[in-house]
């Protein structure tokens, strides 16, 4: 009996197994890739920009910048809960009081519950300020005025 075809067959089986293992590892790493992780750029009323990040996929949760002192695990729960509504295009015909609330701006990018987000927030009118207040990712505002019923 010729041993060469057996060696070739064994080599082919090993090659197929190695490729299968590689594909499995690649899919596993890709599926766990950043399900909820965001970067936040915040600009205060003086125009000073600050950056922070929150990675909810690492254990323990990792936060940097102005989010470092916050309770990162709690922030992750909140933004995951906001999930599908986070950064969804606002209704173009919503009625907003044209009250300038503040010049602060924020930009949030990354992924929340596996969905890519790239959202800009301002406080240029009452609707935008309301949207801002729903997101727990921004540092406290200086000289903030509380609006009744919006606490």
Domain boundaries, the chain: 35-87+95-140
Tell me the pLDDT tens digit for each residue of 34-51: 599 999 999 999 999 999
Q: What is the pLDDT of residue 96?
A: 87
Residue 27 — very low, low, confident or very high, per pLDDT cuts 50/70/90?
Answer: very low
pLDDT at 28: 45
- Identify the band that residue 24 occupies on the pLDDT scale cut at 50, 70 and 90: low
* Nearest residue to 76 (alpha-carbon basis) of 120, 136, 9: 136
Is the pTM here over 0.85, yes or no?
no
Q: Are 77 and 137 in contact (CB under 8 A)?
A: no
Instruction: List the single range of 26-40, 54-68, 104-118, 131-145 with lowest mean pLDDT.
Output: 26-40
- What's the whole-number mean pLDDT along residues 56-64? 92
For domain 35-87+95-140, is the CATH number 3.30.350? Answer: yes
- Cis, peptide link before residue 26, omega less than 30° from 0: no
């Amino acid at each position: 009996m010729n041993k060469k075809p057996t060696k070739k067959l064994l080599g082919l089986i090993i090659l197929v197994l190695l490729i299968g293992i590689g594909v499995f590892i690649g899919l596993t790493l890709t599926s766990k890739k950043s399900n909820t992780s965001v970067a936040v750029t915040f600009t205060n009323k003086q125009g000073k920009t600050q950056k922070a990040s929150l990675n909810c996929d690492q254990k323990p949760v990792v936060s940097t910048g102005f989010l470092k002192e916050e309770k990162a695990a709690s922030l992750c729960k909140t933004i995951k809960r906001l999930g599908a509504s986070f950064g969804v295009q606002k209704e173009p015909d919503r009625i907003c009081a044209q009250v300038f609330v503040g010049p602060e701006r924020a930009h949030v990018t990354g992924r929340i519950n596996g969905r890519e987000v790239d959202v800009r927030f301002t406080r240029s009118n009452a609707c935008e300020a309301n949207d801002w207040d729903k997101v727990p990712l921004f540092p406290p505002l200086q000289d903030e005025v509380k609006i009744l019923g919006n606490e």
